A and B are shown apart, each in its own frame.
Chain A
Amino acid sequence: MFEDFHFASIVVSTIRNAPVLIFAALAGLFAERSGVIDLALEGKILASAFASAAVAYTTQNPWYGVAAGVAVSAALALLQGFVSITQKGNQLVAGIAINIAMSGLTFVLAQFFYQQGGRTPDLGQARLFDVVLPGTAAVANVPFLGWFYGHVIGGHAVLVYLAFALIPLVHWVIYHSRFGLRLRACGENPHAADAAGVNVAATRFMAMLIAGVLCSFAGAYLAIVQSGFFLRDMSAGAGYLALTALVFGNWRPLYTALGCVMFGFFSAVQIQMEGVDLPLVGRIPGSLIQMIPYVVTVIVLAGLMAKSVAPKALGTPFVKSR
């Protein structure tokens, strides 16, 4: 049975599936740890995917594309911040609104500019390609290590390395920097932060901005690295799955990233599992495997597994009292 599994390709696929989730989940982490619910990850991913694909195509330069994605996603994040923080509006509704609006707008704009059924033209060479580490060819024939060096450590696009490098960086910022301390205070007890002299609104806006920037990489990754074009609704629920990873990871960078890798693994396995006979259960359809992350999250939310505790002030607009 196991000869049907190609472990090697599962490992590589996992590494390549994870970055979208990692970027989005870490983005959501900044926003939510500061106390603002971020349901709009999906919308930001789509917007930056479109913007980066469009600009990369027009300028034939993937990096300009990435920059465009960052700009668009950051702008959306600031809008979200304005509605949630300044207007003290319903943050859940704001997130859903942005997701739906971007789903429609990206298609319309893609159709308008490129007339290809709501997608952008293929980027061809204007993509970010896999980085081949020096010496890969030389060690290629060494059993296991050759493959490991060439395809696990090496052989991925720059954004993949960025995603994984962000994990320790975000952890450090959240737990070991002044900004991170103030951010966490705003998310747990904004009144205490305010009493201590922290500007809660400014901190939350900053967090939203960072979330916008990080999330943009998820979109750029989808468009410029993975597919080479923008396609309608190409985020395919990644924004919500990232939120799931956040809940699952108890809003902590390392565990959240672990959740993202795990979900990436499930994705990779799902494709392989089709048509594979397992002992006892027979063939598990891909759609049921797809369900697992969500079911697990519900179990966690029900408090039946590890306790997942959201930042205490999450979702409550801050109103200065006294």
Chain B
Amino acid sequence: MKTTELPRWATALLLPVLNLTSALLVAALVIRLLGESPLESMTILVNSAIVNPEGLSYTLFYASTFIFTGLAVSIAMKAGLFNIGGEGQMYFGGLGLTLAMLFFDASLPAWLLIPAAIAGAALFGAMWACIPGYLQARRGSHVVVTTIMFNFIAASLMNFIIVKYLIPDGQQNPASRVFLDAGAMPRLNAWLPVLGDTPLNVSFLLAIVALAMYGVMVWRSLWGYQLRATGLNAHAAHYAGVSISRTIIVAMLVSGALAGLAAVNSVMGSTHYLSLNFPAGAGFVGIAIALMGRQHPVGIFLSAVLFGALIQGGFDLSLEKPNIPQETFIFIQGLIILFCGAMENFYGPAVLRLINLGRKG
């Protein structure tokens, strides 16, 4: 029987793999044009990012941040919203945890301080997503435009706050003071010395927990059902008694909170101070992760690790091959977003025809 719709295994697995492969093929082509061998480059990358234990540790460290920003975009997408304000929400979340640190890192023990800072990050991230969420729900202002604006507002506002209020006297570097040791996220190399001197920390475990919670909440809870209903068919969700405006606002708040939590890894896990523009594009990587991972916890995890590997491997690759600087991976990120997001159904008709070739009817 000829079918008019793609079977689930095709949409869930085959198409994403084809899309990702296309992106990588284009990247390979560019690497070739830059005079390098794509295969050799990939080997160097894989060795650095996965095979080498310290490299793997760095890969997972980067992945921890990306899991949170990927979750942030994913949860908004489930409600039908395209939250591209992750960058600003992460930045502002960093302010939240910084304030907790600056006020309490001398007085509170680590087991109180760290949760307080984490809460601060989540709270401030949510705050930054609150207005765009409210405007979409109540005024119909498109969340994409408002979140882009809020990214820029965050950049300017944080610049002001850091320079005016947070720089310790006498320091030139636009950053806050260094947090005391009580505010450092415990590093995993304390239990696994093979990881070497790398910043992989407990945030990675938090990220796994967040993925699990996301899976449970979205697919097994009442809230998740209402969220997905709103995203798939707002009319039917309304019929079902779901309050669309409340769903939108809460989805944005949760999304912002998750983006804010991404700051925990970068700041409390690595630098231990708040610096200018520390998100460095992680919010946008989150978009790629959510699209590539199809908003599924396993997909998000794998995509985050892939991107972490691209960053880590890309760094070592850029040292060995000056013609392939780290910025190459920003280009690859764009390709992935293009193929897995905007062109996600590009191979659909061809696959459908192939499937039907083998059928009668």
Mark out the residues of chain A between 97 and 119 whose CB falls within 8 Å of any chain B CB in the assembled complex.
Answer: 97-105, 107-108, 111-112, 115, 118
Query: What 0/1 pattern do residues 68 to 105 of A give for CB contact below 8 A with B?
Result: 00000000000000011001011111101111111111
Complex CA–CA separation, A105 to B334 (angstroms): 9
- Judged by a CB distance under 8 angstroms, whether B328 is at the interface is yes
Known: A285-B163, A301-B146. A83 touches B34 (CB 8 A): no
Contact A287 B341 (CB under 8 A): no
Closest to A288 in B: B160
Contact A104 B149 (CB under 8 A): no
Contact A295 B334 (CB under 8 A): no
- Judged by a CB distance under 8 angstroms, whether A291 is at the interface is yes
Contact B327 A107 (CB under 8 A): yes
Complex CA–CA separation, A243 to B148 (angstroms): 10
Known: A101-B334, A103-B334, A240-B152. A89 touches B328 (CB 8 A): no
Q: Which residues of A contact B330 (CB under 8 A)?
A: 100-101, 103-104, 107
Complex CA–CA separation, A287 to B288 (angstroms): 29
Contact A108 B157 (CB under 8 A): no
| Nearest Cβ on chain B to A205's Cβ, whole angstroms | 16
Contact A295 B338 (CB under 8 A): no
- Judged by a CB distance under 8 angstroms, whether A273 is at the interface is no
Q: Which residues of A contact B284 (CB under 8 A)?
A: 96, 100
Q: Which residues of B contact A291 (CB under 8 A)?
A: 152-153, 156-157
- Judged by a CB distance under 8 angstroms, whether B6 is at the interface is no
- Judged by a CB distance under 8 angstroms, whether B82 is at the interface is yes
- Judged by a CB distance under 8 angstroms, whether B333 is at the interface is yes
Q: Which residues of A contact B327 (CB under 8 A)?
A: 103-104, 107-108, 111, 118, 232
Query: What 0/1 pattern do residues 156 to 173 of B give for CB contact below 8 A with A?
Result: 110110011000000000
Which secondary structure characterizes the binding site on chain A?
A: helix
Picked from A87, A287, A301, A303, the residue with its CB within 8 Å of the CB of B160 is: A287
Contact A83 B338 (CB under 8 A): yes
- Judged by a CB distance under 8 angstroms, whether B316 is at the interface is no
Q: Which residues of A contact B152 (CB under 8 A)?
A: 237, 240, 291, 294
Contact A104 B148 (CB under 8 A): no
Interface on B for A, CB 8 Å cutoff?
Answer: 30, 34-35, 82, 84, 131, 135, 139, 141-142, 144-146, 148-150, 152-153, 156-157, 159-160, 163-164, 284, 287-288, 291, 322-325, 327-335, 337-338, 341-346
Chosen A-B contacts, 8 in total, with CB atoms closer than 8 Å, are A97-B342, A100-B337, A101-B330, A105-B334, A108-B327, A111-B327, A298-B146, A298-B150
Known: A101-B331, A105-B331, A107-B327. A92 touches B160 (CB 8 A): no
Picked from B34, B131, B159, B324, the residue with its CB within 8 Å of the CB of A298 is: B131
Contact A89 B343 (CB under 8 A): yes
Complex CA–CA separation, A295 to B131 (angstroms): 12
Contact A112 B34 (CB under 8 A): yes
Q: Which residues of B contact A99 (CB under 8 A)?
A: 334
| Nearest Cβ on chain B to A276's Cβ, whole angstroms | 16
Closest to A303 in B: B139
Contact B325 A111 (CB under 8 A): yes
Of A90, A94, A294, the most chain B CB neighbours within 10 A belong to A294
Known: A98-B338, A291-B152. A83 touches B343 (CB 8 A): yes
- Judged by a CB distance under 8 angstroms, whether A290 is at the interface is yes
Top 4 nearest A-B pairs (CB, nearest first) are A101-B334, A104-B330, A104-B331, A100-B334
Contact A302 B135 (CB under 8 A): yes
Contact A93 B141 (CB under 8 A): no
Picked from A83, A97, A232, A298, the residue with its CB within 8 Å of the CB of B335 is: A97
Known: A93-B341, A100-B337. A287 touches B325 (CB 8 A): no
| Nearest Cβ on chain A to B136's Cβ, whole angstroms | 10
Interface on A for B, CB 8 Å cutoff?
Answer: 39, 83-84, 87, 89-94, 96-105, 107-108, 111-112, 115, 118, 232, 237, 240, 243-244, 247, 285, 287-288, 290-291, 294-295, 297-298, 301-303, 310
Q: Which residues of A contact B30 (CB under 8 A)?
A: 105, 108
Closest to B164 in A: A285
Picked from A90, A232, A288, the residue with its CB within 8 Å of the CB of B341 is: A90
Complex CA–CA separation, A7 to B98 (angstroms): 40
Complex CA–CA separation, A240 to B346 (angstroms): 28
Known: A287-B163, A298-B131, A302-B135. A89 touches B344 (CB 8 A): yes
Picked from B141, B157, B333, B342, the residue with its CB within 8 Å of the CB of A90 is: B342
Closest to A298 in B: B149
Complex CA–CA separation, A115 to B35 (angstroms): 14
Picked from B160, B329, B333, the residue with its CB within 8 Å of the CB of A285 is: B160
| Nearest Cβ on chain B to A21's Cβ, whole angstroms | 14
| Nearest Cβ on chain B to A241's Cβ, whole angstroms | 8
Contact A118 B325 (CB under 8 A): yes
Q: Which residues of A contact B334 (CB under 8 A)?
A: 97-105
Complex CA–CA separation, A285 to B328 (angstroms): 35
| Nearest Cβ on chain A to B346's Cβ, whole angstroms | 6
Q: Which residues of A contact B324 (CB under 8 A)?
A: 108
Contact B338 A288 (CB under 8 A): no
Contact B342 A108 (CB under 8 A): no
Contact B139 A97 (CB under 8 A): no
Q: Which residues of B contact A91 (CB under 8 A)?
A: 342
Complex CA–CA separation, A301 to B337 (angstroms): 27
Contact B287 A96 (CB under 8 A): yes
Picked from B131, B156, B323, the residue with its CB within 8 Å of the CB of A112 is: B323
Instruction: Given contact pairs A87-B346, A108-B324, enumerate 12 new A-B contacts (beta carbons under 8 Å).
Output: A39-B144, A83-B338, A83-B343, A93-B342, A97-B337, A100-B288, A101-B335, A104-B330, A104-B333, A115-B322, A243-B148, A302-B139
| Nearest Cβ on chain A to B337's Cβ, whole angstroms | 4
Contact B153 A294 (CB under 8 A): yes
Q: Which residues of A contact B131 (CB under 8 A)?
A: 298
| Nearest Cβ on chain B to A105's Cβ, whole angstroms | 4
Q: Which residues of A contact B337 (CB under 8 A)?
A: 93, 96-97, 100-101
Of A94, A97, A288, the most chain B CB neighbours within 10 A belong to A97
